[in-house]
Chain A
Amino acid sequence: MKPLIAVVNILLPILYVIAFIIYSYDFMKGGKKFSNSKRLFLFFAVIFHFFYLLIRTIEFNHPPITNVFEIFTVLAFAVSFSYFILELATDIRGTGPFIIVISILFQFISTIFIEDLVEVREVLRSNLLGSHVLTALLGYAGFTISAVYGILYLILFKEIKLNKFGLVFNRLPSLEILEKLSFYAAVIGFAALTIAMTIGTIWLPTAFPDFSLADPKLISSFVVWILYGIGIASKVFANWQGKKVITLSIIGFIIAIFSTMLTNFLAQSFHSFY
C-alpha cells in the first residue's frame, strides 16, 4: 500500500491547488459559473484526503499523529472539512479561497517532509489518543476559520467606512454574514476542543504516570478554551457584536497558534510525543 500512499500524498496538494484556483476564479469574476462544480470538487478533495488518512492509519498501524508533519496533514484536512461543512450549512460559497489556501499551506509542507514511521511509541498507537488529537485539531481548525472570517470582516468594515468599493466590497458577503460565519466557526472549534479536553482529562492521567496539571500545553489549551468560551457567552448572553467579538476571536487564534508552537517546540513534558 506504500506506493499508493506516496502517490496520494503528492496528489493531495495538487487537488487543493485546483480547488483553490476554481474558487478564486469564481471570486475574481464574481460569476456563478462553477458554483456547484467547485463545491463538488472540494468534496472530492476532502473525501480523498480522508481516504489518505485512513490508509496511512491502516498501513502504519497508528493514527497519523506521531510527528509534526502528520499533524499538518490532519490539520489541512480539518480546515477543509470544517469549511466544507460551514459552506453546506450556510450556502455562502464565495469565501473559499481564503480558507483553502490554509489547507494548501499545511498539506504542502506535510507532503514534502512527511515520513513513513512504523516504529513509534506504544502510547501513540492508542485510538483514544487519536480521537483526542483529532478533535483538538478540529477545534484549532474551527478557530483558524473563525479568524480568517474575522480578518475579512475587519477588511470589509474598513473598506466600507473609507468608501472603497473595490473587489472586496463587491465579492464578499455582508458584514453581518461574515460575523456569523466567524461565530459559527468559533462555536464548532469550541465544541471540538471541549471534546478533546474532556477525553484528555479522563484518559491522560491513566496513560501517563508523569501527568501534571501544570503542563504548559494543558494550560495554554485551557486559556484558549476559556477565551473562546467568554467570547461565545458574551455574544449569546451579553449581546456583544461586531468588532468586539471578532477581535476576541482573532486574539484567541493568535494565542492558540503561539502557545501551540511554543509548547510543542520549546517545552519538554509528558505532553510531547515526538
Chain B
Amino acid sequence: MNLLAVSISHHTAPVELREAIYLNNDEIKAAIDGLKKSLFNEGLVLSTCNRTEIYGIPKDTNTSYLELQKFLISLKPVDGIASEHFNNYFSCGAVRHLFKVISGIDSLLIGDNQIYHQVKDSFQFAEDLQFTGFLMKRVFDSAIKTGKRAITETEISEGAVTVSYAAVQLIEKIFSNLSKKSALVIGTGETGEIAAKHLRDKGIGKLSLTNRTIQRAEKLAAALNAKIIPFDNFKNNLAEFDIVLSATSSPDFILSFNDINTAMKKRNFSPTILMDIAVPRDIDPKVKEIDYVFYHDIDSMNIIVEQNLAKRKMEIPKVEKIVMEELTAFFSWYNSLQIAPTIKNLREYFEQIRAEEVSKNINRFSDEDKEKLEIVTKRIINKILHTPTIELKKITESGINTEESAIKISIIRDLFRIDNSTDEGE
C-alpha cells in the first residue's frame, strides 16, 4: 500500500516546536488544499497540542517523505525545525502508526482517549473537504474500530491520570453521591478551573468559586453555573462546604489549622475533604489531625496518578495485540484488491459453477458426448471471462494499484461474493 505519513510528536520534538507547528482548522484547510494540488489524492491532517501528522496516498509513486516534510515546513515555517524532528512512515508502518495513535498507546498520557475523538474529527474534516477516497475511508473505518476496541476491551483508559481528576476520584471514594454535596474551589487558575469542571461533570450539588481577582472567577462561574464568594470573606463560609479544593499560587498557607478547626466545629464534625493541589501548599497540613477531615495534597494525587499510569502501561501489550489483529484484517482486505489473485479467484468461482452443473447433468448425455460437454462448457466460461481478464490485466500493466483499480476490484469481489479470506495466505 502506498500510504505515506510524517509525524512531529512528543517522541521527536520539544514542546516549543510542537506548539509552533500546531495547525488550527484554517491552517489544516490550507494544508489540505495544498496537498491536493501537489502531492496527494486523498489523505488526513491531524494536529493536536502533542502531535502534528500528515497521512496520504501520493499521486506519484516517487513522492518521498522528504517532500512531505518540506511541504509542512513551508506551510508553517518554524525556527529550528529540521528533518530529525520528524518520524516518517510508509505503507503498513503508516497504518500501524495511525492505529497506535488512535488507541492512545502513542500518547504522552498513555491511554488518553481524547486522541480518539481528535482523530475522528480530523477524518470528518478531511471528508468535508473531499480529501478522503476509497482507501482512506477504509483506513478510517479500521482505525475507528481499533480505537473503540482498545477503549472497550482493555483498561488502557481507566483511572485518573491527571492531578485534578485524581482529586475527584479520591473525593468519590469518600462521598458516594456528589449531587447532595457542596464544594468550594479556591483559585480559578488552570488547575482550579479543570478541577471545578470535573466536579461539575460529576454532578456536584452546589459549586462555589473564590479567587483574588474576581473577574476571572466570574467568567468561570458563569460557564459552570457556580456561585462566587468574595475572597476576603470566604473563610466565614467554610463550614458550608463538604469539599474544599484549593489551587492558588499563594506563597503562604491561606487556610490555617484554626480556620479548619473552627469550621469543623460549626459543621458538627461532618466529614470534610480538603484537596490542596497547589504548589506551594495552600492549607496547613496539620489539619489532617482533625477528626473527619480528609486532607490530601498534590503528593497524594501523584501517588494515584502514578498507580493508574502503571496500570495503563500494563495494558499496552493487550492494545498492541488489538492493533496487530486489525492491521492483519485491514491488509487481508487490501491484499485481496491485488489483480492476480482476483483473476484467479474469479476463474475458480466460474469453474466451480460449471463443474457443479456438469456433474448434476452429466448422466443425461451419452458417453461420447460427455467429453464434448466438458470442452464446450469450459470454452463458454473462458469466453465469458476473456474480456474482464484482459481489462484487469490492463490495470496491472498501467502501473501501480491505483484507487480506480482498487474500486474496480472491490466491486468485482463484492458482486461475486469472493471472500477476502481466500487470499490471506498469499
Contacts and interface: CB of A to CB of B under 8 A. Distances in A.
Q: Is chain B a partner of chain A in the same complex?
A: yes
A41 B288 CA distance: 43
28 contacts: A156-B173, A160-B170, A160-B173, A160-B174, A161-B288, A161-B294, A163-B296, A163-B299, A163-B300, A163-B303, A165-B304, A165-B307, A174-B172, A174-B174, A174-B175, A174-B176, A175-B173, A175-B175, A176-B174, A176-B176, A176-B177, A177-B176, A180-B176, A239-B268, A241-B270, A242-B271, A243-B291, A243-B292
Contact of B176 (A156, A169, A173, A243): A173
A177 B170 CA distance: 14
8 nearest interchain CB pairs? Answer: A176-B176, A174-B176, A177-B176, A163-B300, A175-B174, A174-B173, A176-B175, A165-B304
A243 B288 CA distance: 16
A129 B201 CA distance: 55
Contacts of A174: 172-176
Interface in B352-394: none
Interface string A161-179: 1010100010001111100
B349 to A, nearest CB: 44
Interface in B168-182: 170, 172-177
A198 to B, nearest CB: 34
Contacts of B288: 161
A94 to B, nearest CB: 13
A175 B271 contact: yes
A273 to B, nearest CB: 44
A241 B180 CA distance: 15
Interface of A: 156, 160-161, 163, 165, 169, 173-177, 180, 239, 241-243
Contacts of B172: 174
A174 B172 CA distance: 7
Nearest to B288: A161
Given A160-B294, A165-B303, A242-B271, 5 more contacts: A160-B173, A165-B300, A174-B175, A175-B174, A241-B270
Nearest to A179: B176
Given A163-B303, A241-B270, A169 B296 contact: no
Which of A176, A177, A241, A243: most chain B CB closer than 10 A?
A176
A173 to B, nearest CB: 7
A28 B303 CA distance: 20
A64 B315 CA distance: 52
A163 to B, nearest CB: 5
Interface in B72-131: none
A213 B307 CA distance: 59
Interface string B391-423: 000000000000000000000000000000000
Interface in B11-67: none
Contacts of A156: 173
Contacts of B173: 156, 160, 169, 174-175
Nearest to B296: A163
A176 B177 CA distance: 8
B154 to A, nearest CB: 12
Interface in B143-188: 170, 172-177
A46 B300 CA distance: 42
A163 B173 CA distance: 12
A241 B272 CA distance: 13
A194 B270 CA distance: 31
A173 B175 CA distance: 10
Contacts of B268: 239
Interface in B293-313: 294, 296, 299-300, 303-304, 307
Contacts of B292: 242-243
Contacts of A160: 170, 173-174, 294
Contacts of A242: 271, 292
Contacts of B174: 160, 174-176
Nearest to A156: B173
B223 to A, nearest CB: 28
B245 to A, nearest CB: 16
Nearest to A159: B173
A174 B178 CA distance: 12
Contacts of B270: 241
A148 B78 CA distance: 64
B106 to A, nearest CB: 26
